[in-house]
Homo-oligomer: A and B are copies of this chain.
Amino acid sequence: MKWDDLADQPCSVARTVAVIGDRWTLMILRDCFLGIRRFEDFQARLGISRTITAERLKALVDEGVLKKVPYQDRPLRHEYRLTDKGLDLYPVMMAVVNFGDRHYAGEAGPPLLHRHRTCGCDFQPVITCSACHEPLAAREVETRAGPGAV
């Protein structure tokens, strides 16, 4: 299978992975959620080739995950910001962070802490059921074909 064919599968994972399922794309998104906006900053922080930085940013813009917003004229320059669709990736990011914190944090603890402004506490993300609001475990879930199945 080719990478682009993923987007055509009747699977929400495949369709999403076709967009964000790439090491550098995920790292770019991490930086976006940390407030990075400019090409040179992505480039410097990631330490990857400029070609890939440019290509991945363009792909994310084409997908509607990021948008280019001008921040100066003469010379005209743009910065990259998360769209509402991009912000919807926050749960994915937090789930990834949480996994890293659990399994790869050193003895010192996690490299970053997250504070919930609303309640003022440092937190871990907890995934819950939209129906009963209880935390979800993989083994408690049954999957079956939905309306959009082939």
* Chain A residues with a Cβ under 8 A of chain B: 1, 3, 6-7, 10-18, 20-23, 26-27, 30, 33-34, 46-48, 82, 85, 87-106, 108-119, 121-134, 136-150
A6–B27 touching, CB < 8 Å? yes
Report if A112-B149 is in contact (Cβ < 8 Å); known contacts: A131-B121, A137-B90.
yes
Given the known inter-chain contacts A99-B89, A149-B111, please indicate yes or no for A140 contacting B128, CB distance below 8 A: no
Q: Main secondary structure on chain A at its contact with chain B?
A: mixed
Structural contact, A23 and B6, CB atoms closer than 8 A: yes
Contacts of A94 in B (CB 8 A): 95, 127, 136
With A126-B127, A127-B127: A85-B108 Cβ-Cβ less than 8 Å: no
Please tell me if the beta carbons of B148 and A11 are within 8 angstroms of each other in the complex: no
